[in-house]
Amino acid sequence: MIRRPLVLALALALLPAVASAEDLLQTYELARTGDPVLSAAEANRLAVREGSVQARAALLPQINGQATLTRTRDHGRTVQTDFDENGNIVSFPASSDSETTTRRVGVSADQVLFDFGRFSTLRSQRALSEASDFQLESANDDLITRTSAAYFNVLVQLETLAAAEAAEAALKRQLDFAEKRLEVGLAPITDVHEARAQYDSARASTILARNAVEDAYQALAEITGQPIRTLKGLPEDFTPALPEDKGVEQWVQTAIENNPALRAMELQLRSAEADVQTARAGHLPTLYLNASYGDDTSWGDRTILGRTLPTDSEGYGPSAGLTLSVPIFSGGATQSRVRQAIAQRDATQDELEQQRRALVRNTRAAYQALVAGISEVEARRLAVVAARSAYEASQVGLEVGTRTVLDVLANQRNLFQAQQAYAQARYNFLQARLTLERAAGTLDVEDVAAINRLLTADITVPANDAVSR
């Protein structure tokens, strides 16, 4: 988590000073500095880490200083006794007034000697702090896959737009050809109507494709915080290959051992178990060491029977002691907190098991998608070749009268769909590589650089696209 920005900086330093296109690695760097989701994850990590600092602080000496100044006035009536001139005891009422000012300055310190609840709280917060590190690492991995998915989606939409515009232009030629054949009596009016319907449909598809390109660009800008207009794409001769010669079981084992989200959940379970101990500590006694030093001064006077007497006093000195607190009865609150903590621990344990099972399934699915993607890309490429050949042959057949306009239109539609599927399959394969690495917990900027080296073709927005305006 610390070395990744350094590796990324070194990798970017090797790029050309002026690039004609924003490649995947450059886009990822923009996302690292501009993505609010990652920024929120970093802020949450800092907030969680403060919990262990606060839990440790509760075990250290707690020192406080106090200073008070009090002024007291008192008026009362008392019964005084005295001897008369004959030696007899007599009683008579008397009033008294006093006014006193007291100043108190002191410092006190408390140190925990035994408080099992505070020690278990520290263990819980340390586990959460370590879990936050893995959660941030998972957020970094998620940023890579989100950025690549948005980046590849732009490329797919651009290729879809290019295919849609090519289909629109081809259908316009077919419409013109059908109208000319109608004029010389070589084609029925139905061919013209069918060609016009297909052409109008292609125009609508092109409009939708342009809107999809605009939305894909906006989705990428949502992550990076900056608009990106030109990208790097796959060349025509791209051949997919597996990243490493590892079986699916090895990938699954690596995922269980290294996946940061799973490790974060394991640490959260450890924290929940410590919380159970904290709740049970409510039944245990606590022992604290107390020490203080005080300086007390008071001054004033008291008036009684017409005589005023001073009441000044002064005292200072240290004190120390031990405080043992033994819980006896709390109305059942301690038992309730124990049951609550156990239930929360069990819920966390179930969530961990669910996440582990989902990780195994997702890792297998990503591996299978990657393996199947190699065959799918080749099959889609051959489908494009076959669809293009069929379209060209139908055009020739139309000119010599062996094929109809409907045949040409159908083949044109098949070619467009094959080109769409081919573009989607190629970039899905790249995304599957990153998804598998993320599931295994081995996704790094080096994987982004490896994918980036495959993107060598400059991809620009068509001149008539809404994004370029």
185: left (phi over 0), alpha (psi -120 to 50) or beta: left
Cα–Cα distance, 18 to 21 (Å, whole number):
9
Report whether pLDDT(467) > 60.
no
Same domain, 245 and 275: yes
Query: Of the candidates 261, 296, 325, which is a domain's last residue?
Result: 325
Q: Is residue 139 part of a domain?
A: yes
Same domain, 76 and 160: no
330: left (phi over 0), alpha (psi -120 to 50) or beta: alpha
Range with lowest mean pLDDT among 11-15, 73-77, 221-225, 232-236:
11-15
Q: Is residue 291 part of a domain?
A: yes
pLDDT per residue as tens digits for the range 161-171: 988 888 888 88
- Residue with the bigger pLDDT between 169 and 133: it is 133
Question: What pLDDT is stored for residue 258 in this prediction?
Answer: 93
Same domain, 259 and 123: yes
Q: What residue numbers bound the domain in which 301 lies?
A: 63-114+285-325
Same domain, 402 and 448: yes
Same domain, 379 and 241: yes
Same domain, 404 and 385: yes
Same domain, 450 and 315: no
Cα–Cα distance, 149 to 8 (Å, whole number):
19
- State the pLDDT confidence band at 218, using cuts at 50, 70 and 90: very high
Q: Is residue 43 part of a domain?
A: no
Same domain, 355 and 399: yes
Question: What pLDDT is stored for residue 2 in this prediction?
Answer: 39
- State the pLDDT confidence band at 4, using cuts at 50, 70 and 90: very low
Q: Is residue 41 part of a domain?
A: no
pLDDT per residue as tens digits for the range 334-378: 999 999 999 999 999 999 999 999 999 999 999 999 999 999 999
pLDDT per residue as tens digits for the range 28-58: 999 999 999 999 999 999 999 999 999 999 9
Q: Is residue 392 part of a domain?
A: yes
Q: Is residue 49 part of a domain?
A: no
Residue 67: C-alpha distances to residues 64, 71, 102, 168 (Å): 10, 14, 11, 87
Same domain, 346 and 246: yes
Q: Is residue 142 part of a domain?
A: yes
Same domain, 369 and 418: yes
Radius of gyration (C-alpha) of the chain in whole angstroms = 41
> For the chain, what is the mean pLDDT?
85
Q: Is residue 367 part of a domain?
A: yes
Q: Show Cβ contacts of residue 226 under 8 Å, excluding neighbours closer than 6 positions.
A: 30, 34
| CATH code of the domain in which 186 resides | 1.20.1600.10
Average pLDDT on 394-415 reads 78
Same domain, 143 and 200: yes
Query: Of the candidates 273, 303, 325, which is a domain's last residue?
Result: 325
Report whether pLDDT(1) > 60.
no
Overall number of domains in the chain: 2
332: left (phi over 0), alpha (psi -120 to 50) or beta: left
Same domain, 28 and 96: no
Tokens (6 digits) for 460: 């620009």
